[in-house]
Structure formats: C-alpha cells, structure tokens
Amino acid sequence: MTPPITQSTSTTASFLAPTAERPTIASSSPDKMIVFEDVSKFYGEVLGVNRVSLQIAPGITSLVGPNGSGKTTLMNLMTGLLRPTRGSIRVLGLSPNDSEAIFQELGYCSQFDSFPRGATAREFIEFYLRVHGHRKQETRELAQQALERVSMVEAADRKISAFSKGMRQRIRLAQSIAHNPSVLVLDEPLNGLDPMVRAETIALFKQLAADGLHLIISSHILHEVDMMSDRVVLLNNGYVVAEGEIQGVRDDMDIEHPVQVLIRCNRPAALAAQMFGKTEVIEARLHDDRQGLFVKTRNPDQFYLSLNEVVAQGEISVESIAPVDDDLSAVYDYLIGAQ
Amino acid sequence: MSSTAETIQKKTEATNGANVSLWLRQISAILRLELKKNFFGKRSLLVYLLAMMPIGLLIMVETINPLGRETAQLPTVFSIFYNSLILRTVVFFGCAWIFMNLFRGEIVDRSLHYYFLSSVRREVLVTGKYVSGLLTSVILFSTVTVVCMLIVFFSHFYSSSTRFFFDGPGFSQLFWYVAITILACVGYGAFFLVVGLFVRNPIIPALMLYGWEWINFLLPPLLKKISVIHYLNSLVPVPVSEGPFAVVAEPTPAWISIPGLLIVTALVLILAGTRIHRMEIRYGSD
C-alpha cells in the first residue's frame, strides 16, 4: 500500500513554509505597533527586564519564559502600571503614561485576582465602563457584549466572591475587552480555565487577532502558545533571548541545534544506510521500536529532496515524516530549559 | 502621523470640548463606587464607632450628670466638648481613616490597578476620590456635630434652649460649628489623602500631626500658623481659654483663614495629582 505521504508532505510544507506571506514586523508602520526601545526596568537593585527592544505587530504575540523572567514586568510597562528605568515605550504611537488616551485603545487582563467587595460580575464590568466615561445605555450594551463573549451571561448577576477561579478569570477578561480595545494584554489568561472554556477562549483570541487586534499573551503552557501564536518573545532572567515567528526562531537555531525529523517506514535500517551518504544529513539513528528513523539535518530543503529521491526508487515505503523539534517546546528547551 | 495615532488624536480633539462633561461623568462614576465603599465597606465600621463615640458619651453623661447647670453655661460647655472631642479627635481620626484608605486601602486590597487601567486622567481619579471622602466625612461628622449640640442644649433645658436657638445666637453658632467641621474635613482630608499616597504606614505621620495639633496652643505665633487647628480655632463662635501656659496669638480673621485653608488644600491636592501621575502599581512591595 502506498504510504500516506500527503500528510507527511503537508507537514514538511508547513515546516518549510515561507514567512514572506505573513505580516512581518518590518512591513508595519511604527504607529500600528507596540515599540520597546532599549527598555530596562530595575526594582531597586533587582533586574526586571534589561535592554529590551521589540516591535510587536498586530496578531497574537506570546511572551514565554520561566517565572521571574520578566513577562509580567513587560506587560506592566506597556500598560503604564510601571515606568521604565531607561528607554521608551510607544503603544500605537501613544505613551503608556497618557492613561486617558491609551486606555481607549488598550485593555489589560492582569493576574491580580481581586475585585471590589460585594460586586456582581455585571456591576464590576459596568462600573469600570462608567469610569471610562461611557454613558448608561452604552455601558449596559458593552457589558452585555463582553459577558456574552466570555460565556458568562448566566452568572452575570451573581456576586464575584462566589465564583470559581476560572470564572473570575473570565470576568477579568470580559472587563478588559468590554470597551473594545485595539490592543489586548493578557497575563496568563488561560490559568484556571477548564479544557472546554480554554478552547473557547483560544478561539476568541484567534477571532480577535483575525479582526486586526494586537494580543500580547503570557503563558506557561507551551503547546497552547504554539497553537495560537503568530509570534513569540522568549524571555529569561529579564532578557529577550529570542523573538519572532516560532518557525523563524527555530530556523535561526539550525547551526547549534540541527532540525530533527522522524521518518516512519517499513525498512528504517535500509533508509538509514542510504541517508548516511547524503552530505546534508548529520546523524541518522534508529527509533527504539525499530519502526522509524531519526535524522538530523542542517539543510532541511535538501534533505527532503533527497528523501523524495530515495522514496521514488520504490524500495522503501514511508508512512509518515514529522519534524520532532520544530515546535515552541523544543525551542524553549534549547534556549531556556538547558540553563 | 500614522492613522492610529491620528485617529486617537482626532478622537481626543473631538472630545476636547466635551472634556469637562466627560470628567464630570467619570467623577460621578468614581463617587458612586467610593461612597458605597465608604459607607458600607468593611472599613466603614471604625468610622461609625468613632462618630458614635461623642453621641454615646453625651447621652451617658447627660443621663447621669448634666454638663451644664444653667443655659448660659451651655455654649461654653459645648465649645469645650466640640474642640476637645469632636474636632480634635473624632473629625481628625475619622478623616485620617477615610482619606488614607482612599488609595492605601485599594493598594492593600490590590484593586487600584482597575482605576489605573481605565481611560481616566489620574488627576480626575484623585478629584473623584477626594470628593467621595469629603462627602462621607462631611455627612457623618456634621451630623455628629449637630446631634451633639442638640443633645447638650435640649436634654435638660428645652424651653430656654429653644429661645437660645430661635431668638438668640443658637443657629448662628450651630452654623459655625458645622462650617468648622466641614473645613476640618477639607483640610485634614487633603493632608491624609496625600499621606496615604506617599507613606506605606500612614499611622505615624497621622500621630505626628495629631501631636502637633494638640501642642499648637504652646507654640509661638508663627508656628501656630503652620497647622489646621489654628485656623479652625479662629472660627469657633465661643472661644475658650487654652489654659495658663497657652501662648496667646491673634486669631486669624475668617476672610483669611477660610480662603487660606482652601488654597493650601488645593496645593496639597495638586501635590497628590503629581504623585499619582508618577505612581506605579507594585502591590508586592506595598
């Protein structure tokens, strides 16, 4: 039987997908971006973030890093809750210090799990919409829309103090999106959510990003970041260690960490013998179950061409081809996990 | 200029004419929540206890042993009671508690960031919070002042007190006591609001000011003027002796003391506005 190469090919294509078609950072004007210019923040003598220069375009950008790496500091800096010790920040051309202007365009769902005492979910959202300056009728409509977006309409008139952690998280999210901002900053927004709501929330983020919003999300759950992000910013000890599209970041690491591909086939040993002869292959190793072969290469394009040639000879039947270390988890392990 | 910043600028320009209306709406929204917290929040209990103290004390004393033996003594009796207990203790500590908690309380509760993340000028926030504290303290402590005066006068000398109020200086004195209470809330309120913004533990500066206000009668005339109580004492309708050790100073006329107090309050609030403009949210370190 012919191996289902179509799927493998599509994986390969994705792995090698050109990045030119996607919106790139350089193609956007600075006033449509969030720009950090050589930003440092120190808490006394303790480093928050150091010499961060970033340009974040619309879409979903995830901040990834271990605890204390500076993710929340970056978010607090771009929302004006903190002031940089050095450098400057512009959000859509606006200074975070100009709270009246910037929060017409920006919503921040922080990690602070606190609410006004005795307030219901609806009261909480409506109250801060009134502080924004919205009139009564408009406030009601916006609050209702926000509650619908996070599927909290049924619980809207219950006191927040009786809510579970996940429900409180969704109410904070609703509050941050209620005034329809263009930039949404979300600090660990999936924390405490059950799998169903998590999936709904990710879908909401993708929808918002598709609508042209900036979403800056911090998360510890790498496969979810991988699934929803257009770009990542990897942070460690207050420094940006890598940034860009996940695939681009992975590609940049080829020299130190060659791409590893798992090929499932009927004769892995024979395939290994053939692949050893190719100059682009650095290493070929049989899988423990002897049903597959791991190949390391620094030239994936050439490798896939060579593999096609071998498969075309008809002696080896390939079931699947899958890169095993081109996801965020691998990138994270290579850049941060090892430290 | 790019389209987004331009749009925002246009939006701002469009609303420039309506800025005052916007700020008033925002202040009204802030007032609504803050008044609810001030009157019904967990921290309001202490203020109610403080406000009830002079009323409870008066009821007790008047039941056991009336403060005055005849109507003529009552204005002086009330003046002493007002000065020592209501003004210097209840209004002082009541304002300290209400105004310090406007910001410090939110920092402790980790909820100040919601305001900071709203599209509201921080100066407008300070104004809204200050007005809410002022309304709360004025409503509570003016009521205390009125109720205490009525208890002192009407508990035993009903007919002569009625004459004192309706045919004599009673209402005028009541007006001035309430005015002093309101001015005390204005002045102390602004001071404690700023203290709550600058100092992590505001109890120490509050006690220092309390001590300064109490020893005011011993201070030389120039130093007397650096206090709130000196200006308030100048307005008291029935002056009382401050004792044999008091340094006598000319009372400041009302046309100076009232605008003076209001100007100093405005300056203190501007300082609060400057401070909050630079303020960071770092609950962990607070």
pLDDT band at A218 (very low <50, low <70, confident <90, very high): very high
| Chain B residues close to A97, C-beta within 8 Å | 277
Of B4, B110, B120, the CB nearest to A100: B120
pLDDT band, very low/low/confident/very high, at A24 (cuts 50, 70, 90): very low
Residue among A31, A76, A82 whose CB faces B2 most closely: A31
pLDDT digits (tens, 9 = 90+) for A302-327: 888 888 888 888 888 888 888 777 77
Mean pLDDT of B78-91: 94
Position A181 scores a pLDDT of 95
pLDDT tens, residue by residue, A170-212:
999 999 999 999 999 999 998 878 888 888 889 999 998 998 8
What is the dihedral angle through the alpha carbons of A33, A39, A41, A46, rounded to the nearest 10 degrees?
A: 130
- Distance in angstroms (rounded) separating the CA atoms of residues B144 and B51: 6
**B4/A31 touch (CB, cutoff 8 Å), yes or no:** yes
Choose, out of A131, A182, A186, the residue to mutate when testing the contact with B (most B CBs < 10 Å).
A131
Q: Which residues of B touch A (CB under 8 A)?
A: 1-5, 8, 11-12, 22, 25-26, 28-30, 32-33, 37, 40-42, 109-111, 113-122, 277-278, 280-283, 285
> pLDDT: is B76 or A249 the higher one?
B76
pLDDT for B9: 52
Interchain proximity B25–A115, CB inside 8 Å? no
If pLDDT is split at 50, 70 and 90, which confidence band does A10 have?
very low
- Contact: B111, A115; criterion CB under 8 Å: yes
CA-nearest residue to A44 within chain B is B285
User: Greater confidence, A2 or B155?
Assistant: B155
Q: What is the pLDDT of residue B12?
A: 53
Q: Mean pLDDT, chain B, as a whole number?
A: 87
| Chain B positions in Cβ-Cβ contact with residue A117 (cut-off 8 Å) | 37, 41-42, 109
pLDDT score for B17: 52
The partner residue sitting opposite A108, judged by closest CB among B3, B28, B117, is: B117
**pLDDT band for position B73 (50/70/90)?**
confident
Confidence category of residue B246, pLDDT binned at 50, 70, 90: low
pLDDT range class, residue A7, cuts 50, 70, 90: very low
pLDDT tens figures, B40-71: 988 999 999 999 999 999 999 888 877 656 77
Work out the mean pLDDT of chain A and round it to a whole number: 84
- pLDDT tens digits for A232-268? 898 988 999 888 887 777 777 666 778 888 899 889 9
The alpha-carbon gap from A68 to the nearest alpha carbon of chain B, in Å, equals 13
Mean pLDDT of B250-260: 85
Task: Outline where chain B has alpha helix (H).
Answer: 3-16, 19-40, 44-64, 74-81, 92-109, 112-116, 122-154, 158-166, 170-198, 203-214, 221-224, 228-233, 254-277
**Residue A16: per-residue pLDDT:** 26
